């Protein structure tokens, strides 16, 4: 089978979705499929480039940016123009340049370009499979979701979803012959030899949070309050490390305020953007893992990648009772589960 992956994010380096895509293509390739990845436009933020090459190969899978650079412009208008031209190049690629593929796999493409992409694929008689790992309303307004549900989502020939709730959702609007495959979080075995990693410079006991800095998705404020409670009611003196930068977070003011109110400036650190090896090292040396997902629409339909990463490392895990991962965890067996 020949599969063309169209991906909007950075490759081969990137965030959780990039890691998931790496494992998708790894598994598909091991089953003998021929795979190529196309990224329509530059993906990396201006001044923060993680991917240097516009063409390359990752574990035997070729990838190609249709832009001349992987770095997005600092200008809003230039970014919009570059994105537009990238998708025009993609449509031309699908119609005239691409070799004969059987399936086009759309990953992290959430804009209206899905419609012309689909019809170009149909001209070439290709099946189109769409990856869905969040409830569409997380990224859409009600009117946009209504349009997606009644027009765009009915187009696709197949879906890969991450949770039971998403599977039920897709079944409510898919066309009759559309097929759905649920693939939960994918986690690779730790291929990097841990003892070869450079050690981090800390003797402190800490918990590291490797998700985004969004309070509504990650429960950041309550996690900070919990650290304060432990430090004031036990012999532990825990530190809390966050990957990423607080500046730019939509909850920057709220998070700064709770840190100041609880006088935790010396116990909480923001580590910036780290390499995969650095994140692994911080996870390996952490005291335990805490996943605190607020009970809301987003968390009831998605599945946190970091759960699999911590389970591979054999870390003790404290989670709250929300979402898909309750299908895989048992209280006092492989996690401590709290309401």
In DSSP terms, 279 is beta-bridged to: none
State the sign of the Cα–Cα–Cα–Cα dihedral 84, 44, 114, 24: positive
Identify which of 150, 161, 101 has the alpha carbon closest to the alpha carbon of residue 125: 101
Round to the nearest angstrom and report the end-to-end CA distance of the chain.
45
CA 330 to chain centre: 25
**pLDDT averaged over consecutive 10-residue blocks of the chain (339 residues)?**
95 88 93 95 89 92 95 94 96 85 94 95 95 91 91 96 95 95 84 55 84 90 95 92 88 94 94 83 92 92 89 92 92 93
Tokens 């991450």 identify what position?
Answer: 162
Q: Is residue 25 classed exposed, middle or buried when 0-12, 13-18 and 19+ CB atoms within 10 A define those classes? A: buried
C-alpha torsion angle, residues 124, 70, 45, 166 (rounded to 10): 30
Q: What is the DSSP string of 172-236?
A: TTS-TT-EEEE---------S-GGGSPPPS--S-EEEE-S-S-HHHH-HHHHHHHHHHHHHHSS-
Q: What is the DSSP string of 98-117?
A: S---SEEEEES--STTHHHH
Sequence-distant (≥ 6) Cβ neighbours of residue 221 within 8 angstroms: 215, 251, 254, 255, 258
Identify which of 41, 42, 35, 43 has the alpha carbon closest to the alpha carbon of residue 15: 43
> For residues 257 and 260, what is the distance between their CA atoms, to the nearest angstrom?
5
Contact, 307 vs 317, CB < 8 A? Answer: yes
Q: What is the pLDDT of residue 197?
A: 55
Tokens 């532990």 identify what position?
Answer: 236
Sequence-separated contacts (24+) of 54-58 with Cβ below 8 Å:
56/12, 58/11, 58/12, 58/22, 58/25
Q: What is the pLDDT of residue 114?
A: 96
Sequence-distant (≥ 6) Cβ neighbours of residue 198 within 8 angstroms: 277, 281
Q: What is the pLDDT of residue 191?
A: 54
Contact, 40 vs 82, CB < 8 A? Answer: no
Q: What is the pLDDT of residue 201?
A: 63
Helix (H) or strand (E) holding 130: strand 127-132
Q: Give how far Cα 247 sits from Cα of 5, 23, 41, 133, 227, Å.
A: 33, 30, 25, 26, 22
Contact, 286 vs 239, CB < 8 A? Answer: no
Q: What is the pLDDT of residue 47?
A: 84
């Amino acid at each position: 089978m020949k599969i063309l992956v169209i991906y909007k994010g950075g490759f081969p380096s990137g965030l959780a979705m990039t890691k998931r895509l790496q494992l998708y293509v790894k598994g598909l390739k091991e089953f003998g499929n021929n795979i190529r990845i196309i990224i329509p436009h530059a993906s990396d933020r201006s001044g923060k480039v993680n991917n240097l090459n516009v063409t390359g190969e990752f574990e035997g899978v070729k990838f190609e940016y249709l832009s001349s650079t992987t770095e997005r412009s600092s200008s809003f208008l230039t970014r919009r123009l570059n994105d537009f031209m990238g998708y025009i190049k993609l449509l031309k690629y699908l119609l005239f340049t691409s070799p004969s593929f059987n399936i086009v796999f759309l990953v992290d493409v959430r804009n209206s370009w899905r419609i012309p992409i689909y019809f170009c694929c149909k001209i070439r008689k290709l099946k189109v499979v769409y990856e869905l790992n969040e409830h569409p309303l997380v990224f859409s307004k009600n009117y946009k979701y209504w349009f997606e549900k009644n027009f765009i989502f009915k187009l696709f020939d197949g879906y890969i979803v991450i949770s039971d709730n998403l599977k039920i959702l897709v079944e409510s609007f898919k066309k009759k012959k559309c097929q759905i495959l649920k693939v939960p979080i994918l986690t690779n075995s730790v291929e990097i030899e841990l003892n070869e990693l450079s050690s981090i410079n800390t003797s402190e006991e800490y918990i590291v949070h490797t998700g985004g800095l969004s309070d509504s998705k990650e429960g950041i404020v309550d996690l900070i309050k919990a650290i304060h409670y432990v430090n004031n009611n036990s012999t532990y003196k825990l530190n809390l490390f966050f990957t990423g930068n607080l500046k730019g977070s939509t909850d920057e003011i709220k998070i700064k305020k709770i840190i100041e109110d609880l006088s935790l400036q010396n116990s909480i650190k923001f580590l910036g953007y780290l390499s995969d090896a650095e994140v692994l090292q911080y996870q390996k040396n952490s005291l335990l893992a805490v996943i605190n997902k607020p009970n809301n629409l987003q968390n009831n339909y998605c599945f946190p990648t970091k759960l699999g990463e911590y389970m591979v490392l054999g870390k003790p895990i404290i989670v709250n009772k929300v979402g898909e991962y309750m299908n895989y965890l048992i209280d006092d067996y492989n996690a401590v589960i709290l309401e």
